[in-house]
Every structure is written in structure tokens, then in C-alpha cells.
Amino acid sequence: MTVIQKNAPSIVLKGLSKTFSEDIRQANYILENVDLTIKQGEFYILLGPSGCGKSTLLNILAGFIEKSDGELTINGESEESKANRGFVFQSADSALFPWLTVEENVEFGLKMKKVPLAERKEVANHFIELAGLSGHNHKFPSEISGGMKQRVQLARVLANDPQILLMDEPFGALDAMTRRTMQKELIRIWKETNKTIIFVTHDIQEALMLGQHIGIMSIGPSSKITHSYEINLPYPREITSPDFNQYYKVVQSHFD
């Protein structure tokens, strides 16, 4: 079980830059001098226009791609640390194994770690229940809705007990009503598990529904986090409340 040290830094970036060019002299930087500190247990939103480099930054945090320059520290250790990170992709269709049932998908990581059968069934069932999927254990991904597939993806990631959840527009492909439900569910799950969450979106309303902190990225190239906001609104948040609207106007002003 992961121990959360509230307020201890989870992720620290100092002067982080990324170019995909091989020749550093002609480098076209996607990210340049990104500074960022995210605390353990925090719900942090990376918000920015399409193509500014949000996914690139999240992929660097996941260890999927390498930074070109700067420092990245995760839970006090260098990026090569074994700090356990779980990644939730936008498309559950490409993330889930279609030939495995809901339960088999959720317990997959535990099976790979050779966790004994009884224990992994218990863990898988705990997260299936937490994700609101009870009764669907033996269905295949093709037999459940888009929202339910994202629940399976989330349950599968949580079953591995990551310290950090990295979520790349996980609700982007869902219809508006399902998205709203999933946002509420994610808040509930976050409160129950205390995970650090870094969530990428280009939807201001979604950012304000979910985040304790919102980092706004500038239009690329050479994007960085130019503004940070602490969102002092209680959960669940009301889209129609005057306070919500006030934050919306402030954040929106960066994209006018």
C-alpha cells in the first residue's frame, strides 16, 4: 500500500525542455524551460491549447519518452526512480485487451507480477467495485459502454497501486453526460485513494470541475507553464455557481 505524505513534493520539474530534433543546433523545442512542482495527493490539471505539448509532457512524466534537458524528480528521486506511475489513455479501446473480460483486464498487471490467484481476485474485485463495475466482471470490452471501458481502464491502473496517476484526456471521447458522471466518479475515487493525479485536458470546464491546481501552458512551440491557479472551490463543484463562473472567466482570458 502506498503511503501518501501530504504536502511532500511528488513531481518537480526544473527547466525541462524537449525537442524531437536530432540536431540540437537546429532544434525546434516543443517544451522549453518548464518549471513545475506537484505535491503528493494533489489533483493537478495541465490545461492548454491543442498541440502545445501536454501529451509530450505527460509522456515524459510517464517515462515513455526522454526529456532533452532540465531536471525531473519524482518522489525525491531522479526520473529513473522506480516510483510507480499508472497511465490512463484517451482511448480505452486501444488500452484494454479485447479478448479478456473486465475482471481479467483489471487483474492483468497483478498476474504479470505473479500475485497469487486468490489475492489478485480480491484486489481486482475491490477496484471493480470502487470503479462502479460490480456485476460486470465477466463481460468483454465489446459488451460494455465507452464510459464503462474507461472505468475498467481506471480500475486496472489502480489495481497496480501506483503512486501517481497520469491521465491523458481520458474522458475526451465520451459524450457530455457520461463525461460529467465520470468526472464525479473520478473525484470520489481520488478522495478514497489519495493518489497524486496529473490530468491533461483542453476543456476549461473540465479543468475547473476537477483540479485543485491548474497549470496553463502557452501555445507552442517552446511551450511552458505560464500561469498557475489554485482552485478554492469545494467538491462537488457546481458549474452554475457564481464562483465557478468567476474562475472560468479568469482562466478563459488566457485563451481569448
Ligand X SMILES: Nc1ncnc2c1ncn2[C@@H]1O[C@H](COP(=O)(O)OP(=O)(O)OP(=O)(O)O)[C@@H](O)[C@H]1O
* Residues 55 and 226: beta-carbon distance below 8 Å: no
Which of 160, 218 has the CB closer to ligand X?
Answer: 218
> CB of 154: closest distance to ligand X in angstroms?
20
**Binding residues with ligand X: total (CB under 6 A):** 12
DSSP conformational letter for 26? G
DSSP conformational letter for 167? E
Cα angle for residues 122, 83, 13 (degrees, 5° grid): 140
* Residues 150 and 170: beta-carbon distance below 8 Å: yes
Using the contact rule CB under 6 A, the part of the chain among 45-53, 80-88, 103-111, 234-242 near ligand X is: 45-53
Candidates 8, 20, 84, 192: give the one binding ligand X (CB under 6 A): 20
> CB of 28: closest distance to ligand X in angstroms?
9
Concatenated DSSP letters for 94-120? HHS-TTS-HHHHHTHHHHHTT--HHHH
Contact flag: residue 30 with ligand X (CB under 6 A): yes
- And the C-alpha cell for 65? 519518452
> CB of 65: closest distance to ligand X in angstroms?
7
Site string for ligand X, 46-85 (x = CB under 6 A): --x-xxxxxxx-----------------------------
Q: Contact positions toward ligand X, by CB under 6 A?
A: 20, 30, 48, 50-56, 202, 220
